[in-house]
Amino acid sequence: MLGELRLDTMKIHIYDSFLEGHFYDRLVQQGHIQTFKKQVVALLDSINYWQNRGIPRIDVDLEFIMETWVPQQSGPLGDCAVWSCLLLEYAISGVRVFFHVNVKEAHWMLGELRLDTMKIHIYDSFLEGHFYDRLVQQGHIQTFKKQVVALLDSINYWQNRGIPRIDVDLEFIMETWVPQQSGPLGDCAVWSCLLLEYAISGVRVPVQGDEDYTPTDYAARRFRERMGRIYWASRSSYY
């Protein structure tokens, strides 16, 4: 089987190509799942996971989720190891698609299309602005749904992956855990980039403050400074 630990939710997703075998149930009955939970938390503690990311240490009881959509093996050769590798390749080669969302002349948010669940997660650093609601009311969300499905059809998404074409009605999920901006500089675009970096690296957004800045303002300021150093160091001259 293939397992995936998602550090943002502290959930472990299991991809099993032979669900009829009930192999996960065996692991539960033999106590291996409970042992593995403890080992994961101990490992995170040993590498100072929370401390290094500037977030409070939390009590973790990892939740295991069996992904029931996984194609089921049917060959005579015992293809479980092959399917585990195949699913790993699939998981890291395009399951998550990130994009920036712009509310014209007003706001920026981060969006993430998860192709395994056909859900779009929205990361908004200024929920009080209700900018997503504006997009819904103006019909942009419904239009975007159709555009995504049309794009998937145009690249033969289902055909190329050997899975049946399904009717898709993308579900949008607002992620309410996102740190909320507080600085005076209109940091929505900064936060959209900062959250993107977090999403693809697994490094949680640092929100510790100091005597001059609120926590989220501090995080945005540090991100601006770091990006400035990176851009300056990689600049090229045409003269």
pLDDT score for 133? 94
Q: Are residues 120 and 218 in the same domain?
A: yes
> For residue range 191-221, what is the model confidence (pLDDT) as tens digits?
888 888 777 766 666 555 444 445 677 777 7
Q: Are residues 73 and 109 in the same domain?
A: no
Residue 86, pLDDT above cutoff 50: yes
> For residue range 8-44, what is the model confidence (pLDDT) as tens digits?
788 899 999 888 888 999 999 999 999 999 999 998 8
pLDDT score for 87? 77
Q: What are phi and psi of 61, to 5 degrees?
A: -125, 90
Among candidate residues 92, 108, 140, the one where a domain is terminated: 92
Among candidate residues 74, 92, 110, the one where a domain is terminated: 92
Quick check: is 238 in a domain?
no
Of 96, 130, 92, nearest in space to 111 by CA: 96
Quick check: is 166 in a domain?
yes
Residues of the domain holding 113: 96-233
Q: Are residues 55 and 124 in the same domain?
A: no
Nearest-angstrom CA–CA distance, 219 and 55:
12
Q: What are phi and psi of 99, to 5 degrees?
A: -155, 150
Q: Are residues 125 and 204 in the same domain?
A: yes
Quick check: is 120 in a domain?
yes
Q: Are residues 107 and 222 in the same domain?
A: yes
The number of angstroms, rounded, from the C-alpha of 135 to the middle of its chain's C-alpha atoms is 22
Total domain count, the chain? 2
Nearest-angstrom CA–CA distance, 178 and 123:
6
Q: Residue 26 to residues 2, 39, 83: CA-CA distances in angstroms?
A: 15, 19, 20
